[in-house]
Chain A
Amino acid sequence: MAILKVLVVDDEPGIRSGVARILNNFRVTYPFMDEDYTFEVIEAATGEEGISIIEKTHPDIILLDNKLPGIQGVDVLDYIRNNNLDIVVAMITSYASLDVAVKATHSGATDFIPKPFTPQELKSSMEHITKQLYLKRITHRLNEEGKKVRYQFLSVLSHELKAPLNAIEGYLVMMKEKQLGDKIDDYAVPIERALRRIQGMRTLIMDLLDFTKIKLQRREDRLQPVDLAEIASDSIATVRPYAIQKEVEIKLDKKSDATVLADPGDMAIIFNNLISNAVKYNVEGGKVEIILDSTDDEVIAVFADTGIGIRPEDKDNLFTEFVRIKREEIKDATGSGLGLSIVKKVTDLYKGTISVESEIGKGSIFTVRLPKNKSGFNDAKHEITGKNS
């Protein structure tokens, strides 16, 4: 429960005490709010007194009479606006002339309470005001958090993009200055390393594209029945050349029908990332097994590998953007640090889950569970037309 401070600025003592009495036992509650709101009423008889209380106690809501003995209500509104105060103001006025209303609204008043008012009228106005205040603050907070997250993301991203450029530049300088000799063969290692960094950068850019894609507004008309066995086969075909090179065997085992209502592109993101990881972090001669299964309401995809495994202390950060685990065995792997965070975001979007079990040196098992029912899909409100589901 939270308490909102309400300042009543009115020269009529009867109005002030009336408001205090009505709001004393009043509580505002909406299903979308985290908590209920109650009110603490502070009284001021003039605009000047009101401003000095505003300075001292920072009220959340002000019920403001326009016609006051000294400065007028609109002057108080100007004061609030000029000082950028986070306060919701409702005007209480006996002659609700259009003039005053327009002027007050321009100055930032959000509501009007005509005088005289019944307890019920005051209460319904307070409900409205509280809702506005709540939404305004939530929006503000979300914007701030969004800004912070975006800033962090961009600063890490710029580091990740600059690092390969610095490395490649360094190798080119070596060549320009002929640091290793006059023959092109003297530069086999720098050339190989530079190519690897370029490959890493390309992976990062491709992952970034995936990343921006899943952040965009979903379009429900892209949802369609998707057979995950087909998606898995496509992904395996993509990874196969790399797997052959590493002598890793990939097997697909479809235990039951694994069809979900989804955007095929999203499903491909999940399978491509998890299968290529299972190969990349595997040992030579290792195995990758993909098992598709389903229950009444969900589809389960298991990705089991015989790779190097994940240390318990690394598990917590596995799905965080740009967290790349440092291990001697994988120092040459060209990961972007985005793959698993993207997979997590996509499964979240479908109200699914991803979990991991792992034993160091033995392998890892990633399990993705996706609801079959489209009602599980975030923000999908409408029927899909022209498709059987």
Chain B
Amino acid sequence: MNKGDYTVLVADDDPDYLFQTVKALEKAGYRVDGVESQAEAEAYIATHKPDIAIFDLMMENDDSGFILCYKLKKRYPDVPVIIATGVARETGFIFSLDTRNEKEWIKADSYLEKGLRPEQLDNEIMKLLNL
């Protein structure tokens, strides 16, 4: 399979960040679906199965990303999830997925700071998709 066979779901309520991420991933070769809210992402998950998902942490709720993670994993346990947020950079509130305890609590596979270079994001996706 090549990258064009994989669908990436991106949820972010900042339309600019969403636009830029979608374009960067399309350029990298993926099929990409972008949604602008937790509600839209939930509706998407109900009818589609993406191959990987990237969720912004804070959308309608401060923990929208975590909620989406939980719901996606419940329905499709095998789909990897990346939480992308600028929260640490802006608030100094830091969390990681380094311990088992944290992995159980935050059901994401990877946690990334926003502002990544497109190729870094591509690398992370390839890693999680075993490409």
Contact = CB atoms under 8 A, between A and B. Distances in A.
A50 B16 CA distance: 66
A82 interface: no
Q: Bin chain A's interface residue count.
A: 20 to 34
A331 B90 CA distance: 22
Q: Is the interface of A mostly helix, strand, loop or mixed?
A: helix
A326 B36 CA distance: 11
A117 interface: no
A239 interface: no
A166 B17 contact: yes
A163 B20 CA distance: 14
B20 A174 contact: yes
Q: Is the interface of B mostly helix, strand, loop or mixed?
A: helix
A177 B90 CA distance: 27
A180 B24 CA distance: 9
Contacts of B27: 179
Contacts of A171: 16, 20
Contact of B16 (A155, A159, A167, A179): A167
A58 B23 CA distance: 64
A326 B13 contact: yes
A170 B91 CA distance: 21
A46 B91 CA distance: 52
B60 A326 contact: yes
Q: Bin chain B's interface residue count.
A: 10 to 19
B14 interface: yes
A159 B93 CA distance: 14
A163 B14 contact: yes
B19 interface: yes
B23 A193 contact: no
B23 A180 contact: yes
Nearest to B59: A326
A155 B87 CA distance: 12
Interface string A177-199: 10110000000011001000100
A44 B37 CA distance: 67
Contacts of B91: 155
B14 A162 contact: no
Interface string A268-300: 000000000000000000000000000000000
A7 B24 CA distance: 72
Interface in A36-93: none
A165 to B, nearest CB: 11
Nearest to A158: B90
B14 A179 contact: no
A114 to B, nearest CB: 55
Given A166-B114, A177-B118, A159 B20 contact: no
B115 interface: yes
Contacts of B90: 155, 158-159, 162
A166 B14 CA distance: 11
Nearest to B40: A328
Nearest to B114: A166
Nearest to B86: A166
A60 B27 CA distance: 69
A190 to B, nearest CB: 8
B116 to A, nearest CB: 11
Contacts of A170: 16-17, 20
A171 to B, nearest CB: 7
A193 B24 contact: no
A190 B13 CA distance: 17
Interface string B75-86: 000000000001
Interface in A85-128: none
Interface in B12-46: 13-17, 19-20, 23-24, 27, 36
Given A163-B14, A166-B86, A190-B19, 7 more contacts: A166-B115, A167-B16, A170-B16, A174-B23, A174-B24, A179-B27, A331-B15
29 contacts: A155-B90, A155-B91, A158-B90, A159-B90, A162-B90, A166-B17, A166-B86, A166-B114, A166-B115, A167-B17, A171-B16, A171-B20, A173-B20, A177-B118, A179-B23, A179-B24, A179-B27, A179-B118, A180-B23, A189-B19, A190-B19, A193-B15, A193-B16, A193-B19, A197-B16, A326-B13, A326-B60, A331-B15, A331-B36
| Interchain residue pairs A-B with the least CB separation, the first 4 | A167-B16, A170-B20, A179-B27, A159-B90
